Copies of this chain bind each other. A is one copy, B any other.
Amino acid sequence: MQARLIDRRDLDFLLYDVLDCEALTSRERFREHSRDTFDAVIDAAHTLAVEQFAPHAKAVDEHEPRFVDGRVEIIPEVKAALDAFRDSGFLAAGFDASLGGMQLPITITQACFGLFTAANVGTAGYPFLTIANAHLIAACGTDAQRATWLPHLLSGRFFGTMCLSEPHAGSGLADIRTRAEPQPDGSYRLFGQKMWISAGDHELAENIVHLVLAKIPGGPPGTRGISLFLVPKWRLTPDGAIGERNDVALVGLNHKMGYRGTTNCVLGFGERDGAWGELVGAPHQGLAVMFHMMNEARIGVGLGATMLGYSGYLHALAYARDRAQGRPIGDRDPTRPPVKIVEHPDVRRMLLAQKAYVEGALALCLFAARLVDDLGTADTDKARNDARLLLEVLTPIVKAWPSQWCLAANDLAIQVHGGYGYTREYPVERLYRDNRLNPIHEGTNGIQALDLLGRKVGMEDGAAMQKLAMLIDLTAREARASDSAELRAHGQALTDHLANVMEVVRNLLCATDRGHAEIALANAHVFLELAGHVVVGWLWLKQALICVKQVGTEPGPQRDFHMGKLQACAWFFRWEMPKCTHWHRLLDTLDTTCLDMQDAWF
Interface residues of A (CB under 8 A from B): 165, 168-172, 174-175, 195-196, 221-223, 254-258, 317, 321, 324-330, 332, 334-335, 338, 340, 342-349, 351-352, 355, 411, 414-415, 418-419, 421-425, 429, 432-433, 436-437, 439-441, 444-446, 449-450, 517-518, 521-525, 557, 560-561, 563-564, 567, 570-571, 574-575, 578-579, 581-582, 585-586, 591, 593-602
State whether A348 touches B595 (Cβ < 8 A). yes
Q: Would you list 30 pairs from A and B whose C-beta atoms are within 8 A, ordered by A residue?
A: A168-B324, A171-B326, A171-B418, A174-B326, A174-B338, A175-B334, A254-B419, A255-B425, A256-B424, A257-B422, A257-B424, A317-B602, A328-B518, A329-B517, A329-B521, A342-B599, A347-B446, A349-B594, A352-B597, A415-B444, A421-B440, A432-B436, A433-B433, A564-B602, A567-B598, A567-B601, A571-B594, A575-B593, A578-B582, A579-B579
CB < 8 Å neighbour of A563 from B327, B328, B570, B598: B598
Instruction: State how many angstroms separate the Cβ of A9 from the closest Cβ of chain B.
Output: 11
Bound together, the chains give a CA A581 to CA B567 distance in angstroms of 23
Bound together, the chains give a CA A462 to CA B223 distance in angstroms of 63
Bound together, the chains give a CA A429 to CA B522 distance in angstroms of 27
Bound together, the chains give a CA A410 to CA B30 distance in angstroms of 47
State whether A518 touches B564 (Cβ < 8 A). no
State whether A352 touches B593 (Cβ < 8 A). yes
A518/B418 contact (C-beta < 8 A), A348-B595, A423-B257, A593-B574 known:
no
A419/B578 contact (C-beta < 8 A), A172-B325, A593-B352, A598-B563 known:
no
State whether A560 touches B598 (Cβ < 8 A). yes
State whether B578 touches A585 (Cβ < 8 A). yes
Known: A255-B425, A256-B422, A564-B597. 9 other contacts (CB 8 A): A170-B419, A175-B334, A221-B335, A345-B522, A352-B593, A352-B602, A411-B436, A418-B440, A564-B601
Instruction: State how many angstroms separate the Cβ of A521 from the closest Cβ of chain B.
Output: 5
Instruction: State how many angstroms separate the Cβ of A570 from the closest Cβ of chain B.
Output: 6
State whether A602 touches B355 (Cβ < 8 A). yes
CB < 8 Å neighbour of A174 from B334, B440, B567: B334
State whether A419 touches B441 (Cβ < 8 A). yes
Majority DSSP secondary structure for residues of A touching B = helix
State whether A348 touches B422 (Cβ < 8 A). no
Instruction: State how many angstroms separate the Cβ of A265 from the closest Cβ of chain B.
Output: 12
Instruction: Specify which chain B residues have a CB less than 8 angstroms from the CB of A168 in the assembled complex.
Output: 324
State whether A345 touches B594 (Cβ < 8 A). yes
Instruction: State how many angstroms separate the Cβ of A441 from the closest Cβ of chain B.
Output: 7
A597/B418 contact (C-beta < 8 A), A329-B521, A424-B255 known:
no
Instruction: Specify which chain B residues have a CB less than 8 angstroms from the CB of A324 in the assembled complex.
Output: 168
Instruction: Specify which chain B residues have a CB less than 8 angstroms from the CB of A327 in the assembled complex.
Output: 172, 174
Output the nearest chain B residue to A570 by Cβ-Cβ distance.
Answer: B593
Instruction: Specify which chain B residues have a CB less than 8 angstroms from the CB of A441 in the assembled complex.
Output: 419
Instruction: State how many angstroms separate the Cβ of A592 from the closest Cβ of chain B.
Output: 9
Instruction: State how many angstroms separate the Cβ of A518 from the closest Cβ of chain B.
Output: 5
Instruction: State how many angstroms separate the Cβ of A23 from the closest Cβ of chain B.
Output: 29
Bound together, the chains give a CA A143 to CA B518 distance in angstroms of 68
State whether A345 touches B518 (Cβ < 8 A). yes
A418/B444 contact (C-beta < 8 A), A560-B600, A600-B560 known:
yes
CB < 8 Å neighbour of A422 from B345, B440, B522: B440
Instruction: State how many angstroms separate the Cβ of A294 from the closest Cβ of chain B.
Output: 16
State whether B437 touches A422 (Cβ < 8 A). yes
Output the nearest chain B residue to A578 by Cβ-Cβ distance.
Answer: B582
State whether B525 touches A346 (Cβ < 8 A). yes
State whether B352 touches A594 (Cβ < 8 A). yes
State whether B586 touches A575 (Cβ < 8 A). yes
Bound together, the chains give a CA A436 to CA B410 distance in angstroms of 12
State whether B596 touches A223 (Cβ < 8 A). no
State whether B329 touches A518 (Cβ < 8 A). yes
Q: List the 4 closest pairs (A to B, CB-CB), nearest first.
A: A222-B334, A564-B601, A345-B522, A349-B594
State whether B419 touches A165 (Cβ < 8 A). yes
Instruction: Specify which chain B residues have a CB less than 8 angstroms from the CB of A595 in the assembled complex.
Output: 345, 348
CB < 8 Å neighbour of A594 from B346, B445, B449: B346
Instruction: Specify which chain B residues have a CB less than 8 angstroms from the CB of A330 in the assembled complex.
Output: 517-518
Instruction: State how many angstroms separate the Cβ of A31 from the closest Cβ of chain B.
Output: 38
A586/B601 contact (C-beta < 8 A), A334-B223, A349-B594, A449-B346 known:
no
Interface centre among A171, A335, A586, A601, by most chain B C-beta atoms within 10 angstroms, is A601
Instruction: Specify which chain B residues have a CB less than 8 angstroms from the CB of A344 in the assembled complex.
Output: 446
Instruction: Specify which chain B residues have a CB less than 8 angstroms from the CB of A346 in the assembled complex.
Output: 446, 449-450, 522, 524-525, 594
Instruction: Specify which chain B residues have a CB less than 8 angstroms from the CB of A317 in the assembled complex.
Output: 602
Instruction: State how many angstroms separate the Cβ of A539 from the closest Cβ of chain B.
Output: 19
Instruction: Specify which chain B residues have a CB less than 8 angstroms from the CB of A254 in the assembled complex.
Output: 419, 423, 425
Bound together, the chains give a CA A447 to CA B517 distance in angstroms of 46
Bound together, the chains give a CA A441 to CA B177 distance in angstroms of 48
Interface centre among A419, A518, A557, A567, by most chain B C-beta atoms within 10 angstroms, is A419
CB < 8 Å neighbour of A586 from B170, B256, B574, B581: B574
